[in-house]
Chains A and B, each alone.
Chain A
């Protein structure tokens, strides 16, 4: 029964992945790739590790790798931290007996239900420097109204806000499920023993959420690190919001030459960074459990 999946995954993932990895050792671009439609054979050549050397040297012509990596880290950990903190906070609120809980939950999940590209349009409208509602309100309050999506660090702040808005419902729902699976008897026992609310949170809630937290944080980091749609749809090719994955896509599509080789090399480097992170994360989790 597992065979169909293995077949589909092999043909549509492993094969392209292998080809992508091969590309990283070549100088393939739109002019040299085989084009069966035009009946043109491949003319790209092996260049060994040139792509890796170019990128890892931090050459701006190769996307200033280290700076971009740093920005991607800020983006990833900033977003996931906010996702988790807000998601946990809201889940705790929703886990109480509160009137209208179903309504609140439905409203809070809304950002998740709306397709990402629609949300991206909505936020570009809200954050427009001249006539966006956010800046109109800021002006009315006499506060500074920055150009959110321009060539400054505000752009990164803006896309992070949007991504936090988008991603919090997922965390909230997952953690709410985790909270509901903690037996209430544990809380009662803790209360009988005279534990304060903070102690109950610290010693009952957090350990009870460990398994869920471990998984959703890892997934959150992977997804956020590779989040492409939000950044690209909101700020396009703005160097102030350039992440590893959006730069790879830029090399891929927007650049005049369509540099597939460098884009693929970025793909492999992104994979390596995430693999290292996942291994370290799993080990940390295991040690904490032991």
Chain B
């Protein structure tokens, strides 16, 4: 199909406008992060810009930023690994085996999405207390898994359904155990789907605020970034410059992880959604 030049201009104009809207808030935070707090509210693009905010945030002058980062990284990575492993095995089982309660299981995963998790904080706290995990980051990882695993399982099941069952049979004939088939054949074939679920689990844990502030112990060293950043928002006054610099530092790993994954997002997400 040939497009008229006018249509081409229109197409690009629409895409440029949409991209500008998508990028501008993030760009503005980046610009603000270089301004001193007092100038952070000015609308000039560069206003006495320096890297002082970054230096102060990273040096720990404004709270233990590096410790928060370490906590966030370890919690998010643990959540990702655990959630992907749990949801992949469950999704594989749900995709390939017929067992009692299979439909109920899949239905209940959707149900879990419907219940507002914010309301479960106290009962969850009780559970963690009973397990001796209150205030620990592992407890938080488990809680994040309960939000991430149902959705990931749902998506991965759809993905595994698209992998032909003949591959499993061939693997069994070659003497692999069911887990062997899953691990040696299905996992490598499903990398896009796994990348998407892993990414989803990572972001769930990386940006979560309510549970992290409620369930982690109150000491400064055990906070995650999402909780720690609250120190820049005081009652009457927000240290915008510092907050922006810290925000950029928080967003960078998420964005850096996102871009290698994004080309898989389209296929991973849609095959899950189509077959789910």
Contacts and interface: CB of A to CB of B under 8 A. Distances in A.
Interface residues of B, number: 89
B119 A267 contact: yes
A149 interface: no
A290 interface: no
Given A2-B94, A98-B11, A114-B255, A178 B114 contact: no
Contact of A165 (B11, B21, B99, B126): B21
A122 B146 contact: no
Contact of B118 (A4, A12, A19, A245): A245
Contact of B26 (A122, A131, A180, A228): A122
A33 B12 contact: no
Contacts of A274: 114
Given A8-B149, A122-B29, A181-B274, A219 B90 contact: no
A165 B41 contact: no
Contacts of A289: none
Interface in B93-141: 93-94, 99, 105, 108, 110-124, 126-127, 129
Interface string A229-261: 100110000000000110011001100000010
B173 interface: no
Interface stretch (B47-55, B164-172, B203-211): B203-211
A229 B210 contact: yes
Nearest to A187: B1
B121 A180 contact: no
A48 interface: no
B119 A115 contact: no
B110 A110 contact: no
Contacts of B40: 125
B143 A93 contact: no
B269 interface: yes
Contact of B115 (A5, A6, A169, A267): A267
Nearest to A132: B41
A1 B93 contact: yes
A133 B43 contact: yes
A17 B116 CA distance: 10
A126 interface: yes
A189 interface: no
Nearest to A216: B273
Contact of A125 (B11, B28, B115, B124): B28
Interface residues on A, range: 35 or more
A133 B116 contact: no
A96 interface: yes
Given A126-B25, A177-B266, A233 B120 contact: no
Contacts of A222: 113-114
A270 B122 contact: no
Contacts of A12: 124, 127, 142-143, 145-146
Secondary structure of the A contact surface, majority rule: helix
B8 to A, nearest CB: 8
Nearest to A250: B118
A253 B153 CA distance: 31
A11 interface: yes
A240 B259 CA distance: 37
A16 B120 contact: yes
A129 to B, nearest CB: 12
A37 B112 CA distance: 29
Given A107-B22, A245-B116, A125 B240 contact: yes
B19 A108 contact: yes
Contacts of B247: 118, 121-122
Contact of B22 (A165, A215, A219): A165
A2 B89 contact: yes
A104 B15 contact: yes
Given A20-B123, A125-B29, 17 more contacts: A5-B89, A11-B127, A12-B146, A93-B15, A113-B251, A113-B255, A115-B251, A125-B32, A173-B266, A176-B270, A178-B274, A215-B273, A229-B210, A252-B122, A267-B116, A270-B115, A278-B114
14 contacts: A13-B146, A37-B129, A90-B18, A107-B23, A110-B22, A115-B203, A122-B25, A122-B247, A125-B29, A136-B43, A165-B22, A226-B117, A248-B118, A266-B119
Interface of A: 1-2, 4-6, 8-9, 11-13, 15-17, 19-20, 23, 33, 36-37, 86, 90, 93-94, 96, 98, 104-119, 121-126, 128, 130-131, 133, 136, 165, 169, 173-174, 176-178, 180-181, 211-212, 215-216, 219, 222-223, 226, 228-229, 232-233, 244-245, 248-249, 252-253, 260, 263-264, 266-267, 270-271, 274-275, 278
Which 3 interchain pairs have the tightest Cβ spacing?
A177-B270, A115-B207, A267-B119
